[in-house]
């Protein structure tokens, strides 16, 4: 059984610090984690402000110190909490932990991408990407290698969104350039009178689905799909697309 699945099926409570003074209640279904407030403050300036900045999450005068994070996911939080408390044993490095998977299979690629994407989102949200510096390169390399297999990424809806966001958070320019090139070469742009309706030809429309760990999934058949996936660049005009690519210093490759 994989590391990713174990978190949901085995842990309702987890102790990251035996002498911890703070409980984090994460996600739905709820998972409570006993942590050190000092370790969390040192790892994340966002947590430092939350816990010691006079906000509602600050330590109460009496009773249990509990901070609820219902919008977050334990899959993404688990490695961050482990690293923040100096425990690297439960942090995958090369994804051999996904036992039983063929590294060429869609299941392997999907679970690897979904896991790294979830961690990257939370690391960015809580401004603690530096915690992942020792594993960022190997994680990005695993994703890049997995998506090199023919049509691998195309058969996982929303893979481009996850790959681009992960590359952005980890600062992997090569990953971003390669995925933008792949998206661009696969898309056919249709020009309409109104630039804001510029679309790319595809067979599906994508919507966010929390049950799939935040990846985009198929919703219904449609004639066109926005060239720039909603929620990442929030733009579909070619002018804005060029500006985005220019910021990434890759626009010359495509236009």
Class for the domain spanning 1-75: alpha beta
Q: How far apart are CA 33 and CA 25, in angstroms?
A: 6
Provide the percentage of residues in the chain whose pLDDT is more than 70.
59
Q: Dump pLDDT digits (tens) for 60-112.
A: 999 999 999 999 999 999 999 999 999 998 898 776 544 555 656 677 777 88
Q: Quote the CA–CA distance of 129 and 169 in Å, as a whole number.
A: 8
> Over 60: is that where the pLDDT of 183 sits?
yes
What per-residue confidence (pLDDT) applies to 149?
59
Residue 52 has pLDDT above 50, yes or no: yes
- The answer to whether the predicted template modeling score (pTM) of the entire model surpasses 0.75 is no
* CA dihedral sign of residues 32, 35, 37, 39: negative
**Residue-range domain boundaries for the chain:** 1-75, 92-253
Beta strands in the chain (DSSP E): 13-15, 22-26, 31-35, 66-69, 189-190, 199-201, 204-208, 216-221, 224-225
Q: Is the pLDDT of residue 187 over 70?
A: no
Give the contacts of 66 (CB within 8 A, at least 6 positions apart). Answer: 22, 23, 24, 25
58-87 in b/e form (b: 16+ CB < 10 A) is eeeeeeebebebeebbbbbbbbbbbbbbee
Greatest mean pLDDT among 102-106, 190-194, 222-226 lies in: 102-106
What are the pLDDT digits (tens) for 153-174? 445 556 777 888 888 888 888 8
206 - beta bridge partners? 218
* pLDDT beyond 90 at 40: yes
pLDDT of residue 250: 39
Asked whether the predicted pLDDT for residue 127 surpasses 60, the reply is yes
């Amino acid at each position: 059984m994989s590391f990713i699945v174990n978190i949901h099926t085995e842990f309702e409570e987890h102790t990251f610090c035996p002498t911890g003074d703070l409980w984090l209640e994460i996600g739905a279904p709820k998972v409570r984690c006993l942590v050190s407030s000092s370790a969390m403050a040192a790892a994340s300036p966002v947590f430092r402000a939350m816990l010691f900045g006079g906000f509602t999450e600050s330590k109460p005068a009496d009773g249990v110190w509990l901070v609820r994070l219902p919008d977050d996911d334990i899959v993404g939080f688990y490695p961050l909490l482990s690293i923040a408390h100096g425990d690297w044993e439960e942090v995958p490095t090369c994804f051999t932990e996904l036992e039983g998977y063929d590294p060429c299979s869609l299941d392997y690629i999907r679970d690897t991408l979904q896991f790294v994407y979830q961690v990257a989102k939370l690391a960015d949200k809580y401004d603690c990407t530096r915690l992942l510096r020792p594993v960022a390169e190997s994680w990005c390399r695993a994703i890049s290698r997995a998506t090199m297999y023919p049509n691998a990424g195309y058969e996982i809806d929303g893979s481009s969104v996850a790959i681009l966001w992960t590359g952005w958070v980890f600062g992997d320019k090569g990953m971003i350039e390669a995925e933008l090139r792949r998206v661009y070469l696969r898309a056919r742009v249709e020009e309409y009178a109104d630039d804001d309706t510029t679309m790319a030809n595809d067979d599906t429309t994508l919507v966010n689905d929390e049950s799939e760990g935040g990846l985009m999934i198929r919703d219904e058949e449609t004639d066109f799909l926005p060239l720039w996936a909603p929620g990442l660049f929030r733009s579909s005009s070619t002018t804005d697309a060029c500006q985005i690519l220019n910021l990434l210093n890759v626009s010359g490759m495509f236009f």
